[in-house]
Structure 1
Amino acid sequence: MNNYDLIIIGGGAAGLSAATYAGRSMLNTLIIEKFSYGGRINDTLKIVNYPGFIETTGRELASEFRQQAENFSTNEFVHGTVTSIEKVDDEFIIKTKRRREYKAKAVIIATGTSSRVLGVPGENEFTGRGVSYCSTCDADYFKDKDIHLLGSGDVALEEADYLSKFVNSINMIIMHDEGEFDGNALEVEKIKNNPKVSYTWNSKLSKIFGDDKVSGIEVHNEKLDKNFTLTSDGIFIFAGMSPNSDFLEDLVDVDEFGFVETDDKMETKTAGLFAAGDIRDKSLRQIVTATSDGAIASVYAERYIRARGER
């Protein structure tokens, strides 16, 4: 079993920020990432609100984050899926899906979120066959098609704008009254001026159907209390995010949605176990707040280790 001062689970903005601060503190650190370093920011097409960058892409910013974290020889990077964390005799034992085990004096959880699955009939059946949660992944498959998109927040608006470059038309299914969006004013104004975009208001997705692939959807109009069937070549779902916190079990307290509760030092109810980034119960989930969380968690993880006389 490999021993470390600190293990960071998750290599997104929060995790890589934590790794940079851990490197500056010369902590022997392991960063475990399930998919791609940078996390969900890799799917962000344009970033205009991160300090120091007038405009950049998610992939470019993620690359900068990783290069900076890799600049410290005390940081080690591996790919893996963490299945459990256990605290034994004041140390943490982390197990992965590939039956690897690691030990650490402190741990930072930065596993972020995943696209929320609604569980409507047909959603799981047609995922990958007309149901998608990522425009940059699947836009090419819908070239010149007539599609639907669920949601009206910042992500949904940005994704709709991107998809409009590929598809013939987009109809946005929005649960609010006509004219009400959840996104920021700049993105709202842009999408309202997009001739390819139309709207179905006061409605929720209730069913997805088809044969080999999606051919239509059913929506429920809340005001009229009626169901309507709409022809569709596919649907993109942007209905919020769910925290990747299932593997933490009783080590942390979570809110009603599964987001991890921490104090202002990013520490959970378990001493030595910290959480940073979108997985936390907090009011604003942005790249800049994730990097801030990562820095704070790493600083206090180092102080936790030092206070125990282990540095």
Structure 2
Amino acid sequence: MHKVIILGTGPAGFTAAIYAARANLNPLVIEGDQPGGQLTMTTEVENFPGFPDGIMGPELMDNMRRQAERFGAAFVNGQVTSVDLAQRSFRVVVDDSKEYLAESIIISTGASAKKLGIPGEVEMMGHGVSACATCDGFFFQGKSVLVVGGGDSAMEEATFLTKFASEVTIVHRRSELRASKVMQDRARRNPKIKWLLNVTPVEVATDGSKVSGLVVKDNQTGEVRTIPADGIFVAIGHTPNTGFLANQVEIDDRGYILTKGQSTATSVEGVFACGDVMDPHYRQAITAAGSGCKAALDAERFLESNTVPAQTQIIV
């Protein structure tokens, strides 16, 4: 049986693994279907402290993984398909075939940005297509960008991007926005923001190496045209990766795990959550890493005062 199993990687999971390993907890990390998390799909990261010249996202995640391994963290490749949190020891099932027991669990499975599902979107992610204005806005100084979405997140992303871009156009498939009135009014007052409503994105246009625009279809006339742009920011929301939990911990109406006060403790004693799976607001690598540190410290303190009879790891 493991003292702590960490579900998921990324900045939160890797940091939790580093701290748990240094506390001699010998953590087992289940890597998930995207080892390293969303940063492995990005290019240069310039806002993570300690790298004045920036660092490539995959390199940053590889460094974190190797640092965790150095202190004794073990990694298992696979996807957590279910858990049983009804009683300690907790049971974790990987790929529907392997089972592991744990005295405590740290959940760092993240949240996945919702996609438009159009040709070119995935291929150009990190090469002109982004789901995070805070992360990538700096790279579009003096350029023209599009923000796809009609909710508060889209208004917030568009407003933020006006600090860098020469022009920001909000693209939405309806003629009315879902955003709150205050967020709409703030965006409409910004002279850099333009509007393209009642159109459906069809395809990401490229020149072969980078984004050149967005192909859209007018919902009234059926006309298809290409809107030139240097970048496209998809802001249609995120989905926390909590489906495997089957509501065994308390979550909010959007699926994010709820934690107690300033801690990372969930509604189940001995189960902790960190990173984007419990943070619908910041969604930054550095805040995820910080919460991973907190989760490991919380788990360590929990284990110091709570023990279960020794059992043998089960693998079937």
**TM-score, structure 1 length as denominator?**
0.72
Aligned position for 2:134? 154
- The answer on whether the counterparts of 1:153 and 1:181 sit within 8 Å (CA) in structure 2 is no
Give ranges in structure 1 of 5+ residues lacking alignment.
140-148, 221-225
**Cα deviation 1:16-44 (Å, max 9, x = unaligned):** 00000111111131101123432111223
Q: Does 1:230 align with 2:204?
A: no
Relative to structure 1, the CA distance from residue 28 to residue 258 in structure 2 (aligned partners, 3 Å threshold; closer, same or farther) is same
Among 175, 195, 198, the alignment partner of 1:202 is 195
Q: Kindly state the Cα deviation for residue 308 of structure 1 after the two structures are TM-superposed.
A: 1.4
Matched, 1:135 2:125: yes
Residue 247 of structure 1: how far off its partner (Å): 1.2
**Identity rate, percent:** 29
Deviations 1:67-90 (A, max 9, x none): 1101022x1101111111102542
Q: Which residue of 2 aligns with 1:244?
A: 241
- Residue deviations 1:264-298, cap 9 Å, x none? 22011011111000111453221111111111111
Aligned with 1:90 (options 76, 88, 93): 88
| Greater Cα shift, 106-115 or 52-61 | 52-61
1:29 aligns with 2:27: yes
Give CA deviations for 1:132-176 in whole Å, capped at 9, x if unaligned. Answer: 38523x77xxxxxxxxx79884357468x49x8xxxx97555649
CA separation of 1:237/1:17 partners in 2, compared to 1, >3 Å: closer, same or farther? Answer: same
Aligned to 1:261: 258
Q: Secondary structure at the match of 1:250?
A: coil
- CA-CA distance at 1:182 after TM superposition: 2.2
Please state how far the C-alpha of 1:101 moved relative to its aligned partner: 0.7
Counterpart in 2 of 1:182?
Answer: 157
**Amino acid across the alignment from 1:230:** V
Q: Which moved more, 1:201-210 or 1:100-109?
A: 201-210
- Partner Cα distance (1:174, 1:230) in 2: 19
Amino acid at match of 1:106: S
Superposed displacement of residue 198, structure 1: 6.6
User: Which deviates more, 227-236 or 275-284?
Assistant: 227-236
Ranges in structure 2 where 5+ consecutive residues have no aligned partner? 172-193, 204-213, 311-316
Aligned-residue offset at 1:117: 4.0
Query: 12-21 vs 30-39, which deviates more?
Result: 30-39
Alpha-carbon distance in structure 2 between the residues aligned to 1:158 and 1:246: 34
* Residue-pair matches, total: 268
Change (3 A) 1:204 1:23: farther
CA RMSD of aligned residues (A): 3.5
> Residue 39 of structure 2 contacts residue 61 of structure 2 at CA under 8 Å; is this kept in 1?
yes
Change (3 A) 1:150 1:11: closer
* TM-score (norm: length of structure 2): 0.71
1:61 & 1:5 partners in 2: Cα distance? 27
The aligned residue for residue 114 of structure 1 is 112
**Does residue 59 of the first structure (1) align with residue 34 of the second (2)?**
no
1:107-132 per-position Cα deviation (integer Å, ceiling 9, x unaligned): 011011112146xxxx4xxx4x3443
